[in-house]
Amino acid sequence: MVKGRYHHGELRGALLDAAEALVRERGADGWSLREASARVGVSPSAAYHHFAARDALVRALSERVLARLGERMSRAAGTSGTEGDPYRRVVAAGRGYVTWALEDPAVARLVFGAGATGPDSVISPHPHDVVAAELDRLVGAGALAAASRPGAEFVVWAAVHGLAALLADGLVRLDGVPAVEREAERVIRAVLTGLAHEPTPSQEWPDARSNHTERLVRRQEAAGEQGAGRRVRPGDRPR
């Protein structure tokens, strides 16, 4: 499509597509907004109507990719069923995360880098929220104690992301996708089993935070949901 035929939304989407392709070819930092513009056949000034700088394009791409990952994880959980195995949905979501990171390692590194998302980013469904919802489901099913629920998504994320990073960097090697999926399942089940048998802590666990959970807290506070005397924890689910 030539420059004059782009409509407003089409150019924005084309620039995101070009940036994603450049990330895969050159890595997270080996390209510019000017190169993305040239790839779709428009001038940099046309691109600036949508993205004021490369960082803005990276942010928009990260938001799109994370939402796509969230959809993948949610779909995997939703089609797995439970049928006597309450952990199956969480396992499926976590497997989706690990296999995605290995299928698309350059893009994965981009979206998990510092500054990839911002205070105003809107990502739905966010991978964090998918895991959190599945852990809430475990509590409702009696497979996870309510006392172990606060911050548990960060424990699961640490295990899943850690495995993905080790595999992507070649520090752990497995033969083929089935082996990756089985290893991911083992890691996730080990974490969930540990959480299920976690002793009641003598004091609250630390409040782990991420860009996403801090955004949730700010939005809750802006909407007046904090209430008189109510403390909003970074791991709380949005209402």
pLDDT at 81: 73
Banded model confidence at residue 48, pLDDT cuts 50, 70, 90: very high
Banded model confidence at residue 1, pLDDT cuts 50, 70, 90: very low
**85 Cβ contact list (under 8 Å, min separation 6):** none
H or E stretch covering 114: none
Asked if 150 contacts 235 with a C-beta cutoff of 8 angstroms, the reply is: yes
Half-sphere CA count of 76, side-chain side, radius 13 A: 23
Asked if 165 contacts 155 with a C-beta cutoff of 8 angstroms, the reply is: no
* Separation between Cα atoms, residue 28 and residue 41, nearest integer Å: 22
pTM of the full structure:
0.87
Per-residue pLDDT at 94 exceeds 60? yes
Residue 163: left if φ>0, alpha if ψ -120 to 50, beta else—which one? alpha
* Separation between Cα atoms, residue 239 and residue 222, nearest integer Å: 13
- Cα of first residue to Cα of last residue in the chain, in angstroms, is 43
pLDDT tens digits along 119-143: 899 999 999 999 999 999 999 999 9
Mean pLDDT of the chain: 90
Question: Domains in the chain, ordered, with CATH?
Answer: 1-52 (1.10.10), 64-222 (1.10.357.10)
**12 Cβ contact list (under 8 Å, min separation 6):** 50, 60
Asked if 33 contacts 51 with a C-beta cutoff of 8 angstroms, the reply is: yes
pLDDT at 5: 57
3-state secondary structure of 205: coil
Per-residue pLDDT at 232 exceeds 80? no
